[in-house]
Amino acid sequence: MKEDLVSAALAEPGMLAQCSLERWDRLIRQGRAARLLGRLAVLLEQAQLLASVPEAPRRHLVAMRLLADQQRIAARREVLLIREAIGRTGVPVILLKGAAYTMAELPVAEGRAFGDIDILVPRVALADVESALMLAGWASIHRDPYDQRYYRQWMHEIPPMQHLRRGTVIDVHHALVPPTARIAADSDAMRSACIPLEGLPGLFVLAPADMVLHSATHLFMEGEFDAGLRDLADLDGLLRHFGRDPAFWTRLGRRAREVGLLRPLFYALRYARESLHTPIPAALMREAEAGAPSAALRPLMDFCFRRALRPKHHTCANAWTSAARWLLYVRGHWLRMPLHLLAVHLARKAFKREESTSSAPEAALRR
């Protein structure tokens, strides 16, 4: 299989000092596909290597870094507006993923490409939150009744809502994992251990160990790996940051067992260490082994994840890559739905993929 330069660079930024322009060309393309150029720029800057990158590739790193910085400012602003909108209901809001990393000012947020804002609210408050958001200008994106039903029945979130004027998207979750999932995780325990954000009443983030476990669950128990390496880089960043406190590692293993998320933790540690050289204590690696899949299944999971956790780019793919991604996609749904419904849903998805949406060059240009 051809070289995954992005993982190599994230693991060891120093390797870029000797990089030929021809490799830089591949690295920028892979990094763009993986949405990791901004992050890479930050790591290079921290290693004081950015200035020595040849100008042509450096421009792309800097451009995406600038974009990520602005996205972070915009995300902050958006979170405050969301708090204002939901604040009237008195419902506590737990921020997840990128929004949490940004508002908690974790180093992993720096240079990170941003998408939607993810929040978690109690299931009983869902209707209040949804109407408070609608009142403040958000509306559901999915008008298709099938999509609406699918989300509401099988997902741990309601269909994404988009702000009518700003165009920003919010994903409102009511559980940390899908309610029907074949993994039984104790969402309530994680939820009740959440930590208030200083100076931002009404906003919370998950506790460090839970933040890692949620990130791992999100990555390894769902079926979309388009940004798989980006999410693995998040895990790497979180582990490196929280891991400076030695007590964190002990807590992490214990917590995974408590809340029933040893399986995703096993995967997270295994592949973060393998691809990104995340420093993980040997004791925790051994502890997480208890969450490993059976010996019979392990080679297949390795086969799939090692391919899906690369940048989605032809310069680091081979004939098996798309098969691996497809298997994980089906697995993601299998983990969520009863089998007979799964077949219907996947058939429908396959059909919908064929219908392409038409757009003129200007429309694409203005996006």
Partner 1 sequence: MAADRYRLVDPDRWVLSPQWTDESLAYDRASADTHVLSPIARDIIEALRSAERASSAQELVQALAANVEDHDPVALHAAVEAMLLEFVRLGLAERTNP
Partner 2 sequence: MKLSDLSESSLRDRLAGEGLTLRIAPVAARIRSEVPAVAEGLRLHYADYELLDGEAFCDFHIRISPPANLRRWFRRQVRFLHDGISPFEPMPWEHAFPVFEWGLNWCMANHFHQYLMIHAAVIERADGRAAILAAPPGSGKSTLCAGLVARGWRLLSDELALIDPRALTLTPIPRPISLKNESIEVIRRFAPAAVLGSVSHDTHKGAVAHIKPPRESVRRAAEKARAAWIVFPRYQAGAPAEPKPFLKARTVLRLAENAFNYAAFGETGFRALVGLADACGCYEFSYGDLGEAVRVFDALPAGER
* Residue with smaller CB distance to partner 1, 79 or 161: 79
How far is CA 105 from its chain centroid? Answer: 17
Choose from partner 2, partner 1, none: what does 80 bind? Cβ within 5-8 Å by kind: partner 1
Strand ranges for the chain from DSSP E: 93-96, 117-120, 138-140, 161-163, 169-173, 195-196, 203-205
Task: Pick the binder of partner 1 from 49, 62, 67, 80 (CB under 8 A).
Answer: 80
The item of partner 1, partner 2, none sharing an interface with residue 152, based on CB under 5 to 8 Å by kind, is none
What x-and-dash track marks residues 339-358 binding partner 2 by CB under 8 A? -----------------x-x
CB of 354 to partner 2, least distance (A): 10
Closest contact distance (angstroms) between CB of 113 and partner 2 is 12
* Tally of CB atoms within 10 A around 160: 17
Tokens at 103, concatenated: 């508002």
| Element (DSSP H or E) covering residue 199 | none
If the CB atoms of residues 81 and 206 are measured against partner 1, the closer one turns out to be: 81
Tell me the DSSP string of 83-131.
Answer: HHHHHTTT--EEEEHHHHHHHTT-GGGTT-----EEEE--GGGHHHHHH
Window 21 to 60, contacts with partner 1 (CB under 8 A): none
Among 49, 67, 74, 136, binds partner 1 (CB under 8 A): 74
Nearest distance from C-beta of residue 164 to partner 1, angstroms: 14
Residue 101 burial by CB count (10 A; 0-12/13-18/19+): exposed, middle or buried? buried
How near is the Cβ of 197 to partner 1 at its closest, in Å? 17
301: its two tokens: 């999971």
Which residue bears the tokens 């009863």?
338
**Closer Cβ to partner 2, 53 or 93, answer by number:** 53
Report the residue number, 59 or 166, with the smaller CB distance to partner 1. 166
Q: CA angle at residue 33 from 31 to 36, to 5 degrees?
A: 40
Question: Which x/- pattern over 134-153 shows residues binding partner 2 (rule: CB under 8 A)?
Answer: --------------------
Asked whether the beta carbons of 13 and 90 are under 8 A apart, the reply is: no
**Out of 2, 59, 152, 254, which residue is the one contacting partner 2 (CB under 8 A)?**
59
Contacts of 24 (CB under 8 A, 6+ apart): 53, 54, 56, 57
Question: What does the alpha-carbon distance between residue 31 and residue 313 come to, in Å, rounded to a whole number?
Answer: 9
Q: Does residue 361 bind partner 2 (CB under 8 A)?
A: yes
Residue from 12, 15, 59, 77 touching partner 1 (CB under 8 A): that is 77
* One of 31, 57, 159, 228 touching partner 2 (CB under 8 A): 57
Binding mask 294-313 for partner 2 (x = CB under 8 A): -------------------x
Do 170 and 142 contact (CB within 8 A), yes or no?
no
**Please, what is the minimum distance in Å from the beta carbon of residue 39 to partner 2?**
15
Q: Give CA separation, 313 vs 122, 274, 307, 329, 361, in Å.
A: 39, 20, 11, 18, 23
Position 81 contacts partner 1 (CB under 8 A): yes
Q: Which stretch binds partner 1 (CB under 8 A): 73-81, 119-127, 140-148, 316-324?
A: 73-81
Which positions touch partner 2 (CB under 8 A)? 21-22, 24-25, 28-29, 32-33, 54, 56-57, 59-60, 62-64, 66-67, 70-71, 73-74, 313-314, 356, 358-367
Which positions touch partner 1 (CB under 8 A)? 74, 77, 80-81, 166
